[in-house]
Amino acid sequence: MHIRDIKRKAFISTVLTVPVVLYSESLQDILGFTAPDFPGSEWVAPVLASVVFFYGGVFFLRGAVSEIKARKPGMMTLIGVAISVAFLYSLSTLIFGGKEFFWELTTLIVVMLWGHWIEMKSVLGASRALEELVRLMPTRANLIRDGDVVEVPVSDLKPGDTVLVKPGEKVPADGVIVEGSSHLNEAMLTGESKPVPKKKGDRVIGGSVNMEGSIKVRVERTGEETYLNQVLKLVKEAQESKTRLQDMADRVAFYLTVVAITVGGTAFVVWMLLKGDVRFAVERAVTVMVIACPHALGLAIPLVVAFSTSYSARKGILVRNRLALERVKDVDAVVFDKTGTLTEGKFGVSEVFTKGMEEDDLIRYTASLERNSEHVIAQAIVEEAKRRGLNISEAEDFRAVPGKGVVGTVEGRRVAVGTPVLMEQEGAELQEDVLKRAEDLESAGRTVIFVAVDGKVRGCIALSDRVRPESYEAVRELRNMGKRVVMITGDSEEVARAVAKELNIDEFFARVLPHEKAERVRRLQEKGLKVAMVGDGINDAPALVQADVGVAIGSGTDVAVESADIILVKNDPRDVVAVMKLSELTVKKMVQNLFWATGYNVVTIPLAAGVAVPWGVVLKPAVGAIFMSLSTVIVAFNAMLMRRQLWSR
């Protein structure tokens, strides 16, 4: 039923309840006042209460019928039974005499309806988090057709189309930039807070915002295939899949229903025997059933799941398997694949050693020469020069010496870059200290090249797969959380040792071929450790599957990684820490919610049954309904607080 219908039912029932309350004999007796009399005024309460019962209460009666049909008696059954008992009893007083019950029936229905409305609103809030994701996708696109720009609905786009994305507009589909460059804001999609610079040939994600320049994008994926839709699908699947705690909540709800009916029935019998007052006995039974409603229980887990999955999705943390999310906080060891995960996965300059020349000058001469080479070493050095903001000049007489290096003239000086053999050919002597330094660096897993200027060796440059700056923090935090951090790599022992030392990781496996990684994970598990494996979803797939929790990292827009339980879109190892925290908070919230949804019953069920009547404490059904609704509100609110607790970092 639509939330607006519930609100209308709640509102109209509330209005009708006012005269019912005023013309209720039993209430008039208690308060000692008389409502204005008119012919037929004795019919006000019964007639209007019947209207409320059939108009407002029918919502619960229908729910009860479908619960019973599905053989899953629960909240709706309890409410349905409670209001039916109250209604039939009150009707019977019209014939047989006795005190009616109409005002309590109507207030009960009113409180229940409003409670339901609040609940639906909060559930809607959770699904709104999902809707916000949907809304990131624009509806119209500027299609370039025969050189003209035409506006078309996004649904008309096909792979291969070219679209124009102007500054301030959203990218309409996943694709590749074919013209222009810009910065794109992907914050809402991947959680990458800084706008990402993009140029020709770079991939763009549908839904990201073009910040400045106009770009032309060749569409690659549309509709269901796009990153955003894949994310939505994953989030929906995760929200629908059941978890251990959800199963528990369902079981508790069932038992609570049984308890409610048993205690309610017993309370009726006992009070009949003690007091012989039908009205009083019915009231107690009804209150018990209302208060014990496992209403909040139905929401306790799904709301937490809804918030945790949809908010994390927007930070680029995608949960495929919810059980794995609940498990990941308990892992003992986190195994990282080195290359591309802890390190950047590409060559970079890590050390520069100079002799009789400024570092920047050495890099400048080298880069000016290397700009003409295609070698990975050359590219890394040119990049380093750019990073340092150095002016690269034109080289003359450039020549590549295969397998040895490059030579040429830069700013009128003869420069040679490469192996010791090349240095020898150039007649440049390798001094003791430079050699010693180079050997040290090589034994630490670096690749070292020498640089000679005008026939003199001026130093050496060490290159390696550079450690990501974020890796230090990730490893440190995981260790602080008491996790064993293990590194696994196909690289040589020296390289592995160097990176492990740098990152303060004390366990590593080197020279592990891709298919052996799963075996290493299994061996850790045989030692009794629960293992999370972090790696890419392709080469490391078997290891991800073998691990207790498989985390695919840096998947970018390809989020259909079947092998992983959790997918990290960004290539930031700190997100592994975020996943652990998400796991901890999610489980904590679920447990808290289970408590708030059931714990109060320990006190309120006996109270409702009338245990405290000798001390003058009598709970009215409507008060019971308020208690029950309150627990629902607390549960919903507690789940909503997650958002702040999660991303306050």
Q: Please list the active-site residues.
A: 337
The residue among 113 and 449 lying less far from ligand AMP, judged by its C-beta, is: 449
Task: Find the part of the chain contacting ligand AMP (CB under 6 A) among 61-69, 241-249, 370-378, 585-593.
Answer: 370-378
The SS3 call for residue 467 is strand
Task: Find the part of the chain contacting ligand AMP (CB under 6 A) among 41-49, 57-65, 400-408, 529-537.
Answer: 400-408
Burial class (CB in 10 A: 0-12, 13-18, 19+), 49: buried
* Residue 198 CA, distance from chain mean position: 26
Instruction: Please name the residue that has the structure tokens 């989020």.
Output: 559
Q: Which of 46, 57, 80, 418 binds ligand AMP (CB under 6 A)?
A: 418
The residue among 374 and 526 lying less far from ligand AMP, judged by its C-beta, is: 374
Residue 384 in the binding site for ligand AMP (CB under 6 A): no
Residue 539 in the binding site for ligand AMP (CB under 6 A): no
SS (H, E, C) 469-489: HHHHHHHHHHHHCCCEEEEEC
Q: Which of 67, 220, 370, 548 binds ligand AMP (CB under 6 A)?
A: 370
Count of positions on this chain that bind ligand AMP (CB under 6 A): 13
Q: Which of 73, 74, 115, 405 binds ligand AMP (CB under 6 A)?
A: 405
Q: Which of 403, 482, 528, 616 binds ligand AMP (CB under 6 A)?
A: 403
CA angle 310–316–321, rounded 5-degree value: 60
Residues from 177 through 196 that contact ligand AMP (CB under 6 A): none
Is residue 325 a contact partner of residue 566, using CB atoms and an 8 Å limit?
Answer: yes
The least CB distance from residue 406 to ligand AMP, in Å, is 5
Closest CA relative to residue 170, chosen from 197, 137, 218, 212: 137
Residue 303 in the binding site for ligand AMP (CB under 6 A): no
The least CB distance from residue 456 to ligand AMP, in Å, is 17
Residues from 440 through 499 that contact ligand AMP (CB under 6 A): 449
Q: Which of 50, 243, 312, 373 binds ligand AMP (CB under 6 A)?
A: 373
Q: How many CB atoms lie within 10 A of CB 433?
A: 10
The residue among 381 and 561 lying less far from ligand AMP, judged by its C-beta, is: 381
Task: Find the part of the chain contacting ligand AMP (CB under 6 A) among 39-47, 182-190, 415-423, 482-490.
Answer: 415-423
Task: Find the part of the chain contacting ligand AMP (CB under 6 A) among 92-100, 374-382, 479-487, 605-613.
Answer: 374-382
Distance CA 14, CA 433 (A): 91
Task: Find the part of the chain contacting ligand AMP (CB under 6 A) among 89-97, 262-270, 372-380, 474-482.
Answer: 372-380
The residue among 214 and 419 lying less far from ligand AMP, judged by its C-beta, is: 419
Residue 144 in the binding site for ligand AMP (CB under 6 A): no
Q: Could you tell me which residues come within 8 angstroms of residue 373 by beta carbon, excluding any fewer than 6 positions away?
A: 400, 406
For residue 342, the 8-state DSSP code is I
The CA-atom distances, in angstroms, between 488 and each of 148, 540, 551 are 53, 10, 14
Kindly report the backbone phi and psi dihedral angles of residue 437, in degrees, each rounded to the nearest multiple of 5, phi listed first.
-60, -45
Closest CA relative to residue 525, chosen from 508, 498, 543, 502: 543
Residue 288 in the binding site for ligand AMP (CB under 6 A): no
The least CB distance from residue 451 to ligand AMP, in Å, is 9
Site string for ligand AMP, 326-365 (x = CB under 6 A): ----------------------------------------
Q: In 394-545, where do the E strands start and end? A: 395-401, 405-410, 413-418, 447-453, 456-467, 484-488, 507-509, 531-535
> 552 forms bridges with which residues in the sheet?
535, 567
The least CB distance from residue 379 to ligand AMP, in Å, is 9
Closest CA relative to residue 231, chosen from 559, 498, 480, 462: 559
What distance, in Å, lies between the first and last C-alpha atoms of the chain? 39
Q: Could you tell me which residues come within 8 angstroms of residue 330 by beta carbon, excluding any fewer than 6 positions away?
A: 530
Task: Find the part of the chain contacting ligand AMP (CB under 6 A) among 8-16, 134-142, 404-412, 550-558.
Answer: 404-412
Q: Which of 419, 425, 525, 539 binds ligand AMP (CB under 6 A)?
A: 419
For residue 315, the 8-state DSSP code is T
Q: Which of 417, 500, 580, 642 binds ligand AMP (CB under 6 A)?
A: 417
Which H or E run contains 185?
A: strand 182-185
* Residue 621 CA, distance from chain mean position: 40
Residue 372 in the binding site for ligand AMP (CB under 6 A): no
Q: Which of 177, 319, 377, 380 binds ligand AMP (CB under 6 A)?
A: 377
Task: Find the part of the chain contacting ligand AMP (CB under 6 A) among 55-63, 309-317, 375-383, 585-593.
Answer: 375-383
The least CB distance from residue 355 to ligand AMP, in Å, is 18
Q: Which of 406, 415, 467, 505 binds ligand AMP (CB under 6 A)?
A: 406
Distance CA 231, CA 225 (A): 10
Contact residues toward ligand AMP (CB under 6 A) are: 370, 373, 375, 377-378, 403-406, 417-419, 449
